[in-house]
Amino acid sequence: MSVEVAGMGRAKAEGPLKLAVPRGALFGETLDALDLAGIDTSEVRGESRALIFPGPEISLVTMRPSDVPTYVEGGAADVGITGKDVLLEQSDRMVYELLDLGFGRCRMVLAGRKGDKRLGESERRLGMMRIATKYPRIAERHFEQTGRQVEVIEVKGSVELAPLTGLADGIVDLVATGRTLEENDLEVREEIVTCTARFVANRVAHKLRSREVDQLTAKLGEGVPR
């Protein structure tokens, strides 16, 4: 049996549960968490260039973290793991956030050049700051909530370049150790939100396959650091 809801794709009540696995920074810790939950990730850890790794009960589908909400919402994956930063930036995606997995901890911050007063001066002089970011929705929401006017400039590459070249007064970006900021003579001015890896589910799959999804959520939860 399968059910389709407008804008949410098709979810099936039978067959292996499809789990979207994020490649990149969260990849290793995600596989470790799955191993602790009793899911064999040996094939995914190998040299194969495959993107889908079928299993009798759970099939793993690897993809970019930013694509996980799209695949889960559309029913191409029943459940998935991605960063809270992705979920905040794609807050319009209709997925259930089931569990904070605790790993992949980063901070979303406002940063500017060390000793540079342009962030404050631009706000006082022009009533508006120019902020470069890969996360325009998060940035706009933060400044709206704090009652400040900003011009958000979306960039795709190294966002640290923007204040160094005069494109922007500051940046909103995700940082782990802060080393990249330090090496580019930038400093944190404000912390916006702490982000960790999250376990999410397709809304239809969560109903059709509640027992399987709940069991997997519980197993993953056992490995979450306390």
CATH of domain 106-195: 3.40.190.10
Return d(Cα 155, Cα 132) in angstroms, integer: 6
81-118 pLDDT, tens digit per residue, is: 999 999 999 999 999 999 999 999 999 999 999 987 76
Low-confidence ranges of the chain (pLDDT < 50): 1-8
The Cα-based distances of 226 to 36, 102, 167, 194, 219 in angstroms read 15, 9, 42, 16, 15
pLDDT at 80: 98
Output the pTM of the full model.
Answer: 0.88
Return d(Cα 173, Cα 158) in angstroms, integer: 10
63-80 pLDDT, tens digit per residue, is: 999 999 999 999 999 999
Contact 217, 34 (CB under 8 A): no
pLDDT at 124: 52
Return d(Cα 59, Cα 54) in angstroms, integer: 4
pLDDT at 13: 65
Return d(Cα 182, Cα 180) in angstroms, integer: 5
Contact 150, 170 (CB under 8 A): no
pLDDT at 2: 46
For the chain, where do the domains classified as CATH 3.40.190.10 start and end?
Answer: 2-105+196-222, 106-195
* Fold exhibited by the domain 2-105+196-222: D-Maltodextrin-Binding Protein; domain 2 (3.40.190)
